[in-house]
Amino acid sequence: MQRSISAAVIALCLLPFVWLVYTAAVGSLGPDPAKALMHSTGEWSLRLLALCLLISPLRAWTGWPGVMKWRRTLGLFAFFYGCIHFVSFLQFYIGWDAAALGEELAERPYITLGFGAWILMLPLAVTSTRKMQQRLRGNWRRLHRLVYLAALLACLHLLWQARSDLGEALYYLGIFAVLLGWRVRRYWLKSRPAATVRSGN
């Protein structure tokens, strides 16, 4: 049962990519295919990142530990779509020109924010295996807290370039604020008994 669910999660994560490939092949990406590709992959990276952060609350609410197995898959697919988003920018907008990339990073803050989010997600993807988790031990958990900063930078990346239409960016910011708020509240509740014991002594 668990394997079937995991296979279904992988298939669902791949579905947007398959659809993008199909629409690109039949020329249905619209008048600006590069923009459509970047927008779609950027959104799917954010959506999957949000789903990845939803796993821990879902486990707490359902009491089902098996759901934690999906977190790595969702996180890796978030990075996968982020990579396509970044590669599309390199291919269609700056032509793989390192000097042009440097200029864009220096002159356009929203690109700097997006690049920063991708850079932060890179070590998380590299160290996502169980072997790396065992090797890094307690440092692994501290390293993977960078996902919150990556999510914030990604939302600001979207917000900065949204200009007058801020609804979509604020929607994602709201989702990540709720997910982060849940974690902060949970950490605070866990630390309260320890603080009470220390003060009582």
- Name the token pair of 55: 């796993």
Q: Do residues 30 and 36 lie in contact, with contact meaning Cβ atoms separated by under 8 Å?
A: yes
Reduce the DSSP state of residue 32 to 3 states and report it.
coil
**Cα–Cα distance measured from residue 90 to residue 34, given in angstroms and rounded to the nearest whole number:** 11
> Which residues have a Cβ under 8 Å from the Cβ of 56 and sit 6 or more positions away?
68, 71, 183
Number of folded domains in the chain?
1
199 lies in some domain: no
What's phi and psi for 164, nearest 5 deg? Answer: -80, -30
Helix (H, G, I), strand (E, B) or coil at 183: helix
200 found inside a domain: no
For residues 152 and 121, is the Cβ–Cβ distance under 8 A? no
Residue-level pLDDT at 201: 45
Flag whether 79 is in a domain.
yes
Considering the entire predicted model, what is its pTM? 0.91
pLDDT at residue 109 in the model: 94
Residue 201 maps to a domain: no
Return d(Cα 59, Cα 165) in angstroms, integer: 35
Q: What type of residue is 166?
A: L
Rounded distance between C-alpha atoms, residue 114 and residue 120, angstroms: 10
Sign of CA dihedral 188, 189, 194, 198: positive
| Residue ranges, the chain, pLDDT below 50 | 197, 199, 201
170 within domain boundaries: yes
Look at residue 198 and tell me if it is in a domain.
no
Domain that holds residue 94: 2-193
Residue type, 84: I
Q: pLDDT digit string (tens) for 138-186?
A: 899 999 999 999 999 999 999 998 776 788 888 999 999 999 999 888 8
